[in-house]
Structure 1
């Protein structure tokens, strides 16, 4: 039985972009047309049917915004929630000065990681959205491409640059052009980046599906460079919902559903057959759903493949490819830990979700120990850091 918890490598955290990001990293010829930081009042802010409803109001509470083309993007307290009491983690606008400094300052983030028993952290974007949808939706794609590259330069050189490998770079691609995406993967891999963020369900963004073959050059370059494809819940720009007028708690409770749907897509797509070294990571989706999903996928493959369109496409039971190539992660999921033999002791990783509402900060060590109590030391090591090190090719234990 494990007597103490190894220092954690969190595979899903978040960063609030500093106001100087694009002024510093975007080439001068694009800056006037690129994202502009602004502090201004906020008016209506609601979350209805999986979408935010937002307005500006000069008389409203001061909020930090990004203004980009026709987009007005405010930072909200629920995405910079650490440091607030649970009942204060509301849908209200917030400025960087009101946030805990670790949200946007890398030195302060490292200090908060030390407080939280965390050695390494992979951070998803906020203003660009989880896989860069903000730039994919922009009208001027020349500027948008420059913004993707500027974000990646900031991520690698500034956010992660002085961290000694503790802040792990996670880069964007230009989602609207697969050949440009391949170039960006190669550019970042050449400087040591081993993680890219991608949409869990590209068709929800109006992009080709993974079944078309359109994304095969992207999958090929990720395989060739050892770049992990990370798919965060919400990276399809919509959260699962039941009734359109349901409270946001419904979407929050169902947030794993898109990850489950996405995994089924991949298991039956042939992508993992064609690219046997490609690694996929499902971020913030938890893992308690994985055992039944795998059981059902294998049953469908065995019983329905003659009419189900996969008889010649997927030669082995789908779970084969899951155990070989897919990683999940958890932070509050005792059911998933109890099912670890099926989830896969080599497939599960841990996250802290700093600084979102769900974050375990500053109690991560206590919460993690409560989950892994009774597990052997080797398994605890794998869950807390070993699987993340292997997945991302990290140097932290070498």
Structure 2
């Protein structure tokens, strides 16, 4: 009885933790929406700066009328798009009354529903002791699994049933039964990556860990349906490793690694598997990355994939920004700090970030920042920062600036120090 009550309390508390924070404006959705709006507002500020520069160039006669009109239309269109992003989104203001109502009502409703639909006598220790004499035996479990397989023969489109059947065979370790069922019903299986990967795993286990034949076919189909499916990628890597295609094994596992946080417990194990394949294939080893970074490979080898053609164009510059001790006294916590990524020859920024001066020193990354210009990235970018005393991206006297740093689009550990006053 005590374990049940503890579990029920934990489940109710978990439900409240999922529901109440968004009502109070503290959910991930609210934070994500606020982040998108801040980034959109930053882009709008920079676009206004670009429009002012364009007007000045036109007034000075440095730009032809046709080029001026085309550039102005592009800026106006971009501003409209970002304006909709800044104004859009659901109303995410805190709903405290609803939060209080949920906190009070949810536990009460859970108790009422259990009393009405549950089995309160199941909390009685005497009842529990009596039921322990009637545990399901392995034979009974096998019979239940067989009944489920027969039902699926009549209802082959029952996706949940197929998932349950595969998991049941895994739990009972009945690999022969799984193989026999596949021979009978396999052609009727729904075309879904989760189900295909589970059955590939079962069939490979029934074949002594070999993936030749049907398991390989199922894995390939699962990856056609979902190229990022983690279990299918893991199985594909294992199958390639068995075939001694170590480059393919490493490539499949690296795609798993690209979606993992280096802080996860299994991250190191995945890196170790990749390095085993790379060592056997004569490729340079990966270096385990720190939190928030991606693993790196030696030069000349097949490093981690970046997701296909064009992925190398992703802007991934990251680093750290700080203010020199000499200027720290001139900074207020609510001052705005803009970080720009521009082509070396100047012009419109590729992307921009906005930070709060009170949070410095702080890390920054352009990986999720909206692009402000289209087309391929230049081989080198100029990364600069400006602390605005007026909250505007347009440079003004009295702003604090840092010396721009020229880096590659995927550079990491970039250090920017705001250390001079703009006159």
Query: So what's the TM-score if we normalise by structure 2?
Result: 0.27
Task: Name the one with the larger strand percent.
Answer: 1
Name which structure has the greater RCO, CA cutoff 8 Å, separation 6+.
Answer: 1
Task: Name the one with the larger helix percent.
Answer: 2
Higher alpha-carbon Rg: 2
